[in-house]
Structure 1
């Protein structure tokens, strides 16, 4: 059984261990409950990953309360093309999601049903980190920066220092702090997070 590291809470210093269907459901149920709270106006994102001597893979997934609760799934792995889920829509609008107090926009046509999001996360964990096959994917060009913010340098309200520059300076990054989101206000402590600058391309 493979144990994955999961990151969701703002200021999280240590990963959550996820390896069983029960642990997957507990994480997703927390996300749904928080996303459906009246105080939360954006979608919420979590990330789970696995790394060993043979390689690595990451599954990033979001949950958003809309007319029907929905979400998205994104996958990246060693020597693999990065992909994001797609509903097949052709006229996407940006939708706001939040990952550990950093806002990112996801195209609306990446959103799929919550049933499909849940199944994708279960499949990823059960397979030991293989890209889920039950999702329709869209290939993406991805520039990813993974940063560990360690106090006292910490994270500011507009980005984190990487090589002497703020991530907000990356063209098209579209990442910032949502000051109006009380749930995600404060506590930028030690937090692993992923920034993806993406350009959507073909379906498959």
Structure 2
């Protein structure tokens, strides 16, 4: 049985992250990002179903950002083994800045994807126990 994924995207979530354990909870989180303050357009997701490192820290991170107007977004899947991966495809801008709880997160040569694909990828991540979504192709994030 899956335990779900913890999500942080507001100050209130620092001590009490949102638990994503259903398609409904995932939809609610993305809708909240669409309606959010422009300084909080990105969520950090950590699966509770993956093994932790010996230090106790997660071995992964999944960032989910929603662009202005809620029509598109950005995804970044990171692990120690694979590095940081973003959706493959033609870059949509030289740089895109998304806000993670008032902190800017810049993506170089980002490939922003339609919001429906963002929703699908988050559902796949959560409901697969934290695996990298296969509903899209990935490439290494430029640094």
Tell me the C-alpha RMSD between the 2 structures: 2.4
Moved over 6 A (4+): none
Cα 1:19–1:87 change in 2 (3 A) is same
Match of 1:93 in 2: 94
Q: Distance in 2 between matches of 1:133 and 1:17?
A: 22
> What is the DSSP-based 3-state SS (H/G/I as helix, E as strand, rest coil) of the residue aligned with 1:49?
strand
Q: Structure 1: any 5+ residue segments left out of the alignment?
A: 141-197, 200-204
Instruction: Identify the match of residue 48 of structure 1 among 45, 49, 57.
Output: 45
For 1:139, the equivalent position in structure 2 comes to: 140
Report the CA distance shift for 1:96/1:80 in structure 2 as closer, same or farther (over 3 A).
Answer: closer
C-alpha displacement at 1:43, in angstroms?
Answer: 7.2
Q: Give the superposition deviation at 1:95.
A: 2.0
TM-score normalised over the length of structure 1: 0.58
Deviation at 1:88, TM superposition (A): 1.9
**Native 8 Å contact 2:74 2:110 kept in 1:** no
Secondary structure of 1:5's counterpart equals strand
| SS at 1:72 equivalent | strand
Q: 1:137, CA displacement in angstroms? A: 1.2
| Aligned-pair CA distance for 1:93 | 2.0
Structure 2, gaps ≥5 residues long: 53-58
Decide whether the 8 Å contact of 1:43 with 1:65 is kept in 2.
no
State the distance in 1 between where 2:130 and 2:49 align. 11
Task: Go from structure 1 to structure 2 and tell me whether the alpha carbon gap of 1:9 and 1:16 turns closer, same or farther (over 3 Å shift).
Answer: same
SS in 2 for 1:29: helix
From the two aligned structures, give the one with the greater strand fraction.
1
